[in-house]
């Protein structure tokens, strides 16, 4: 196996094992065995288990930040509230659906008190919050939304999409029989009816 493919195989396997057992519950021996290589081969790519864990979270933070911020920025300077929040919900639903193992890994990271979860928060979540709170504040000043705490509103909306995703992807509860696009639009409608300026 070429070195680049072997490195990716190690990362993919580590994501799966870390998501099932956490950082502390996973050994480099288990990762190497699952990939089909020896521990010395694994150490040629990552000096320690911590380096491997760090590489995964930092890579995902950069990848998620670039994709999400770029996608939302197209809507952030408009006044199309439905498009902005529908797109944001779609991005969250797709992220959970596309990479449930990594989302579980993030939960483990936070529960284990890893400083890497804080890195992910600073480099991805805070940027997402900044974009959304900025949009909500601007639209509130324009009278489209009622006066409210923009961070609380931001968390409320993201919370709806995340909770739905966790129920289906993480906890495997009964699926809502709607397409992802319809679910995203429904969440946006529920949220916008709650903060509409017409309710003043």
Taking residues 83-93, report their average pLDDT.
92
Enter the pTM of the model. 0.78
Q: Across residues 85-107, what is the average pLDDT? A: 86
Give the pLDDT score at 121.
83
User: Distance between CA atoms of 148 and 151, rounded to whole angstroms?
Assistant: 9
Task: Find the mean pLDDT for residues 122-151.
Answer: 91
Per the model's pLDDT, the better-predicted residue between 173 and 52 turns out to be: 52
**Mean of the per-residue pLDDT values for the chain?**
87
Query: If you compute the radius of gyration of the chain from its CA atoms, what whole number of angstroms results?
Result: 19
- DSSP class of residue 145 equals B
Question: The domain at 57-199 falls in which architecture?
Answer: Orthogonal Bundle (1.10)
> Which residues, in sequence order, are CB contacts of 96 under 8 Å at separation 6+?
103, 162, 165, 166, 168, 169, 170
Q: 156 to each of 94, 122, 164, how far by Cα in Å?
A: 19, 19, 12
User: Which one, of 70, 81, 65, lies nearest residue 123 by Cα?
Assistant: 65
Environment class of residue 77 by beta-carbon count within 10 Å: exposed (0-12), middle (13-18) or buried (19+)?
exposed
Q: Of the given ranges (42-56, 109-123, 136-150, 154-168), which has the lowest mean pLDDT?
A: 109-123
Residue among 16, 167, 180, 173 at smallest CA distance from 99: 16
């Amino acid at each position: 196996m070429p070195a680049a493919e072997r490195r990716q195989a190690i990362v993919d396997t580590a994501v799966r094992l870390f998501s099932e057992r956490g950082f502390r519950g996973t050994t480099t021996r288990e990762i190497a065995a699952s990939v089909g290589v020896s521990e010395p081969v694994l150490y040629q790519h990552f000096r320690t288990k911590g380096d491997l864990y760090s590489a995964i979270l930092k890579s995902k933070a950069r990848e998620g930040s670039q994709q999400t911020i770029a996608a939302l920025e197209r809507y952030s300077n408009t006044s199309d509230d439905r498009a902005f929040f529908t797109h944001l919900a779609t991005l969250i639903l797709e992220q959970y659906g596309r990479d449930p193992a990594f989302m579980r890994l993030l939960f483990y990271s936070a529960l284990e008190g890893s400083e890497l979860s804080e890195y992910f928060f600073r480099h991805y979540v805070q940027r997402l919050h900044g974009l959304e709170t900025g949009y909500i504040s601007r639209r509130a000043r324009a009278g489209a939304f009622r006066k409210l705490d923009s961070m609380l509103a931001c968390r409320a909306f993201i919370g709806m999409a995340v909770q739905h995703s966790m129920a289906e992807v993480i906890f495997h509860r009964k699926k809502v029989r709607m397409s992802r696009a319809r679910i995203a639009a429904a969440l946006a409608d529920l949220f916008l009816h709650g903060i509409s300026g017409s309710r003043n």
